[in-house]
Structure 1
Amino acid sequence: MERLRQWIGGRLIKTGIAVFITSAILIAFDLPVVYAVMATIVSIEPTAAASLRKGLIRFPAAVLGAAFALTFDYLLGPIPLTYTLAAMVTIFVCHRLGWGDGLIVATLTAIVMIPSTTENYTVAFFTRMLTTFIGIGVATLVNLFIFPPRFMRLLCSQVPLFCQESITLFDEWIQYLLGDGGDEHQLHQQLQVGRDRLQQFNQFQAYQEEEWRYHQRQDDEHKRAIEIEEQVLRLKLLYDYLGVIQHLQTGQFYTTEEKNMILAYAKEIGSLFLAPSNQRGSMTHSRELTSSTALGQLVLMLYEKLLNMNRETLPPIQKE
């Protein structure tokens, strides 16, 4: 099962399981399947917390969409204007209520209900709401108990490698700054890719914190989370500093002595990132902040040195 999960993806497998369970329940009770399956597919989220939070928005949004659909169908019949008004009014009201997460379910419910409502409107309304509720509920339960996401494992495998890649990029920028080669366009592209990955890591950290609200955190996970958080903080400082480097002048403005000093600073910054965690000792929250502050001070020192060497005005950097 683990190999299948790695090959296909946990979220896709959970979607298939949720759709199967939902359709089986509704067929067993001779209820319409379409609305529930539609709600199930949309309600599978990266985390159980997101499913619960968004499910509390999606169900009332679906009720709203169904109400508008039946109202316009009753007044106008199944004509093009009915579909138009049902969709537009549903989108407008959901937007005004801040129900963006329920917009798709609400709009699809409104549109699909119009051609399929042939029986009593009251019965149709409550039937559709029951099936939608079942779909959202099954998706939430599947998301909670089946293949809970393992963002910490992903972070532990990717962040250390990303640290090494970032230090390599940092060294390449330093070499380019000193006039020792490098493609500026490629360096800017790599810098943007690194920033995007860093933002992704921040999102994974937020997802993992949400998951720990519903799944017990192990002691080793707590320790690893602290170490990963420290590394991500260091990476953020490094990329902030790279954002400064890209504005600096290159090569001809630096003497040999100044180049050697820049390389010495760069080597010291790299050593902070590449030092094994067992050499940094057991990390606590206060030590993590102290370590990050030390790096911030080192970055500030290097920035001020480069500022004194440079011939152009640079964007200001604030001291911590």
Structure 2
Amino acid sequence: MFRSFHFNGSRILKTGLAIFLTASICLWFGWPPVFAVITAIVTIEPTVSDSIKKGLVRFPASAIGSAFAVLFITLFGNSPITYTLAAVATILVCYKLKLHAGLLVATLTAVAMVEVIHDHFLVSFFIRLGTTTIGLVVSTAVNMLIFPPDYRRDILKSIRSISERAGTMLEHTFHTVLFEGDADLREGRELVKQLTTEIQKTENLIHYQRDEFSLYSKVRKREAELLMAERQLLFLHNLEFHLDALLRIPLHNLKWSQAERNIIMQAVAELADDLQNSVAYDHETHQRQLKIITDFFWEDSKGITTSDAVHPTLFPPEFRILYELITIYDLVDNFFDPNSVKAAQKSEA
């Protein structure tokens, strides 16, 4: 919640400042500020790179909209057909020129200009280009200089949050599978979907951060952190995949005794604790627990007959549950592997 508020709050502040500066500059020139303000509002993007890229598209798109507004008001005056033709022609031309990012602003500019142009059509056209330029330049400068986008802290917090949630889900999922049998697993699947959504949001943050590398050398020097974050997010995504696979195993009646289920649940609890308390992760303890589960897996797999192994879907549910658990253990070990940081740092050297 706090992370979302912080992101939106800084963007609101930057938008407000961009509007104020844009309107002030336009009024100083004696130009109507409304078009510049519209441009400034839509140009505040999550990254400075996006602001620049989309600004370069919105300027020619706005010029096209202004040109059509001047053309059709000259031909038909202030009439319904003028609004219609200005909007439709702007949309068609912007679409054909693939100026999709500027289509909305250009169309709004075209129809709004019909209302305010009464004479001096050519002068009005150039004034509109000037106000658009002011909106683009001011909003991009504000985005770059005021609270410059830096998502590293949000990325790290998000990964920790996803890791903690994954630990809780892991324990919940295995408890359901081991002790509730054919219980309704819809809640577990819904939790997996929520985890997937959080991972996708974090992937977007990483994408935003990469966009800033070309503009901020200070951020670019910290690329090792971003590589590590991408690596950890990939492991969390794989973990989510295996949790979902676990929930899709047809359980029926598991043959394990209560004692055997407790052994598995103990291993799961240790694994969940690793994910929820990453600072306390101990590789040696993790490996000892993994050996217990691996030995149990091979011992349990001896009971699989040839007919059972004809197709993976015919494997007993016990075999598949243990396989998923061992795979998750391996993923968690890689998630906390300290060598991955060194590898990321070497890749930049």
TM-score (norm 1): 0.79
Tell me the alpha carbon deviations over residues 264-319 of structure 1, each in whole angstroms, 9 at most, x when there is no partner. 775686577467479689xxxxxxxxxxxxxxxx9xx99x99862149xxxxx9x9
In structure 2, the residue matched to 1:199 is 200
1:56 to 1:280, Cα distance in 2 relative to 1, 3 A: farther
**Contact 1:47–1:149 (CA<8 Å) still a contact in 2?**
yes
Q: Which whole-Å CA distance do the structure 2 matches of 1:261 and 1:98 have between them?
A: 60
**Contact 1:179–1:251 (CA<8 Å) still a contact in 2?**
no
Residue 224 in 1 paired to residue 225 in 2? yes
**Contact 1:179–1:250 (CA<8 Å) still a contact in 2?**
no
In structure 2, the residue matched to 1:77 is 77
CA apart distance, 1:251: 5.2
CA apart distance, 1:71: 1.8
Q: Which whole-Å CA distance do the structure 1 matches of 2:252 and 2:276 have between them?
A: 27
**Contact 2:15–2:40 (CA<8 Å) still a contact in 1?**
yes
**Contact 2:274–2:281 (CA<8 Å) still a contact in 1?**
no
Task: Work out the number of aligned pairs and report it.
Answer: 291
1:171 to 1:279, Cα distance in 2 relative to 1, 3 A: closer
Q: Which whole-Å CA distance do the structure 1 matches of 2:165 and 2:44 have between them?
A: 33
Structure 1, 13-22 or 186-195: larger mean CA deviation? 186-195
In structure 2, the residue matched to 1:215 is 216
Q: Which whole-Å CA distance do the structure 2 matches of 1:252 and 1:112 have between them?
A: 69
Tell me the alpha carbon deviations over residues 169-203 of structure 1, each in whole angstroms, 9 at most, x when there is no partner. 12212222224377523222222111111000000
CA apart distance, 1:154: 0.9
Q: Which whole-Å CA distance do the structure 2 matches of 1:39 and 1:118 have between them?
A: 22
In structure 1, the residue matched to 2:129 is 129
* Residue type at the aligned position of 1:145: L
Over aligned residue pairs, what C-alpha RMSD do you find?
3.4
Residue 91 in 1 paired to residue 98 in 2? no
* Residue type at the aligned position of 2:130: L
Query: Per the alignment, in what secondary structure is the counterpart of residue 255 of structure 1?
Result: coil
1:134 to 1:262, Cα distance in 2 relative to 1, 3 A: same
In structure 2, the residue matched to 1:18 is 18
1:82 to 1:251, Cα distance in 2 relative to 1, 3 A: same
Counting aligned pairs with the same residue, the percent is 32
* Residue type at the aligned position of 1:205: I
In structure 2, the residue matched to 1:248 is 249
**Contact 2:212–2:219 (CA<8 Å) still a contact in 1?**
no
**Contact 1:234–1:273 (CA<8 Å) still a contact in 2?**
no
**Contact 1:248–1:310 (CA<8 Å) still a contact in 2?**
yes
Tell me the alpha carbon deviations over residues 206-256 of structure 1, each in whole angstroms, 9 at most, x when there is no partner. 101112221223698444323322221111111121232232113524433
Structure 1, 55-64 or 210-219: larger mean CA deviation? 210-219
CA apart distance, 1:24: 1.2
Q: Which whole-Å CA distance do the structure 1 matches of 2:131 and 2:58 have between them?
A: 13
Please list every run of 5 or more consecutive structure 1 residues that lacks an aligned counterpart in the other structure: 282-297, 312-316
1:149 to 1:218, Cα distance in 2 relative to 1, 3 A: closer
**Contact 2:274–2:280 (CA<8 Å) still a contact in 1?**
no
* Residue type at the aligned position of 1:237: N
1:254 to 1:306, Cα distance in 2 relative to 1, 3 A: farther
CA apart distance, 1:15: 0.8
Q: State which structure, 1 or 2, has the greater radius of gyration over its C-alpha atoms.
A: 2
1:278 to 1:130, Cα distance in 2 relative to 1, 3 A: farther
Q: Where in structure 1 do 4 or more consecutive aligned residues deviate above 4 Å? A: 5-8, 257-275, 277-281, 304-307
In structure 1, the residue matched to 2:52 is 52
CA apart distance, 1:150: 2.4
CA apart distance, 1:140: 0.7
In structure 2, the residue matched to 1:291 is none
CA apart distance, 1:88: 2.1
Q: Which whole-Å CA distance do the structure 2 matches of 1:124 and 1:19 have between them?
A: 21
Match for 1:308 among 278, 297, 315? Answer: 315
* Residue type at the aligned position of 1:235: L
TM-score (norm 2): 0.73
1:122 to 1:100, Cα distance in 2 relative to 1, 3 A: same
Please list every run of 5 or more consecutive structure 2 residues that lacks an aligned counterpart in the other structure: 284-293, 299-308, 319-323, 328-349
**Contact 2:169–2:191 (CA<8 Å) still a contact in 1?**
yes
CA apart distance, 1:11: 0.6
In structure 1, the residue matched to 2:156 is 156
* Residue type at the aligned position of 1:244: A
* Residue type at the aligned position of 2:19: V
Query: Per the alignment, in what secondary structure is the counterpart of residue 178 of structure 1?
Result: helix
Q: Which whole-Å CA distance do the structure 1 matches of 2:278 and 2:313 have between them?
A: 29
